[in-house]
Chains A and B, each alone.
Chain A
Amino acid sequence: MLLFKLALKNLLGAGTRTWLNVAVTSFSFVLIIFMSGFYQGFLEYAQQVTLETEVAGGAYWHPAYDPDDPFTLDEAHGVPPGPVNSQVAGGQAMPILLTQGSMYPEGRMMPVMIKGIPPDQNIVSLPTAVLGEYTGAAIPVLIGAGMSHTAQLEVGDVFTIRWRDVHGTYDADEAEVVSIMRVENPGVDMGQLWLPLETLREMLEMPGEATYVVAASGAELLADIGDWQAKPVAFFLQQYLDVIEMKSSNAKVLYAVLLAMAALGIFNSQVLSIFRRRKEIGTLMALGMVRSRVVALFTAEGGMHSVLAFVLGGIWGGPLLYFVATMGIPMPYDPSEFGVIMAPRLIGVYGAGMILGTTLLVAVIVTMVSYIPARKIAKLKPTEALTGRSN
């Protein structure tokens, strides 16, 4: 205890030098937590939005369906297996049918993915009910805000869509935008037209068919579904974990630079302090303090930088992180342009584990860089140290 009191007294006695090191360390400490919180916030938000708007409780895919390979789409349709259809009939799942086509807003051609969805579904948070309420002569179409911006379409606009039926024959008709949905998932927005499922089935001559079936949240994913593939929620969320892992790897370089900056300052100050305080070290030794305790004293002095940095970081970083965690930071641009799910306001998520882990990491690194120069003390002879010389 005496050692720690002495270490703290020495540290505070060093004045500006200590506070400069503490300030740099606290900056690194807060910034690491700040960024990690953003990644965590992005991950949680993306997962939540994906579940709500797209994945719900998982899906059953047609055996030929591969969303990463558009070549497979022509063949990826069929009548879902009986047990899956039973789930659909029970309101525990909904079929989705996909086809590629072209749209001609204002006579400009744009490739689109045409998706059929039951208008009365309540499995995903998409306002599909408007599709069922349409009474006009055109094909009712629901689009996202991103798509509306790209295609310059508003509610009530009529444009031509062209597609090919199950046999490959071209067909075309007029479509009308019945609603524009604000959805933060570009996966259900960009380049997509949502139509009533039965309308699309008639257009494609694919009665009762689907490309995939989305299970309701909490519904049991069936295993015995023939050659269709059951895709659990974890399968869909893995993509975000992969993105975070990749981003975290990049961020680790920045963390290393930040920590190196703080560590270098402390290391430098430790080297300087051991050089300048040789007489004090000699005196302590002459008074009977064993070398290991002197090393421990200097190591504790250095290590205490992290404690002070934690306190200082808490004073200035705490309110900042609280603000970011509650209010978030508004994005200066439209996140949908990036094709990934991003909240309009970036909200940080700061867990106790993350803060504790970062604190420990900073404390361990600071203590280590404090110990390395302090080892030199073990080689000092008290007589030489008392005269202010070192070997």
Chain B
Amino acid sequence: MKLLKRSVYVMMPCLIWPLALAAQSEKVPTAKELIEAIDANLNARTSIVTSRMVVHGRRASRTITSRSWVEGTDKAFTEYLAPPREAGTKMLKLGDQLWTYSPQTDRIIQISGHMLRQSLMGSDLSYQDMMEDQSLEDVYDGIVEGSEQLNGRDSWVMTLTAKVEGLAYHTRKAWIDKEWLLPMREELFAKSGKLLKSSYAEEVMQVEGRWYPKVWVFKDELKRNSRGTEWIIDEIAFNQPIPEAQFAKAALRK
């Protein structure tokens, strides 16, 4: 009996140590696993979103309401609902092409070349930012650098470095919430390492069993006094049927 007790005393540390170590050295996911988890949260076969974009200017702020129909990463159609000046403006993205329709001029214009670098409705986002649809895993080499606390929550820190040419941003750094598996903050860097843009999730929500950002803030870091642009999701529905006609150029004039 003593021997058993002694054996237990001897064995206990051997049994407890691995458990303690396992708890301490939490399995670090690979960048691929993290990207897949994020994609699973953020992407759906289709999504229909009603959102507001609050553009903070130097003197005043503007709120632009829109409704978007999205299919995969290639097709997106957005109709602006408010304010009256923007109401009726529509945008269609098919692959790497983007068209806008303005009711004031009753004309459809393809946005290309240097126009893609222009600000979207005066926000801190460019048309180019909207056009990014390649899988991060395909175009970036990712490294999970470790774990950090962000706003009191445990996050993985992942750095992505471009592995193909032609990407707008050479390096990205993202903080991914360990529980929600959402990028809670992202920083976009120039080739020189200068921080160009940042974005962060201010509020998250749970929709249809997945975590999704409710308020997302974008900021052009080169603009000294920029207060950023908020993107607020009011309604979102996943995997709803969207008629193919919604993504036709003719839909822009309807």
Contacts and interface: CB of A to CB of B under 8 A. Distances in A.
B162 interface: yes
Nearest to A174: B194
A172 B190 contact: yes
Nearest to A168: B166
A73 B194 CA distance: 25
B167 interface: yes
B166 A160 contact: no
Contacts of B191: 165, 169-171
A74 B114 contact: yes
Interface residues of A, number: 22
Given A109-B223, A162-B196, A172-B192, A100 B114 contact: yes
Contact of A167 (B165, B194, B224, B225): B165
Give chain B's interface secondary structure class: loop
Contacts of B222: 102, 104, 107, 109, 160, 162, 172
Given A71-B114, A162-B190, A169 B167 contact: yes
Nearest to B165: A167
B220 A169 contact: no
Interface string B53-78: 00000000000000000000000000
A379 interface: no
Nearest to A167: B165
A173 interface: yes
Contacts of A70: 113-114
Given A73-B114, A74-B113, A106-B224, A168 B194 contact: no
A295 B149 CA distance: 107
Contact of B223 (A73, A107, A168, A171): A107
Given A70-B114, A100-B114, A169 B170 contact: yes
A149 interface: no
B112 A71 contact: yes
Interface magnitude class on chain B: 20 to 34
Contacts of A172: 190, 192, 194, 196, 222
A169 B162 contact: yes
Interface string A146-172: 000000000000001010110111111
B170 A173 contact: no
B169 interface: yes
B33 to A, nearest CB: 27
A92 B220 CA distance: 44
Given A162-B190, A173-B192, A173-B194, 17 more contacts: A71-B114, A71-B115, A73-B113, A73-B114, A74-B113, A74-B114, A100-B114, A104-B223, A107-B225, A109-B223, A162-B196, A167-B165, A168-B165, A169-B190, A171-B170, A171-B192, A171-B194
Interface of A: 70-71, 73-74, 100, 102, 104, 106-109, 160, 162, 164-165, 167-173
13 contacts: A70-B114, A71-B112, A71-B114, A71-B115, A74-B114, A106-B224, A108-B224, A160-B222, A162-B196, A165-B191, A167-B166, A168-B165, A172-B190
Interface of B: 112-115, 117, 162, 165-170, 190-192, 194, 196, 220, 222-226
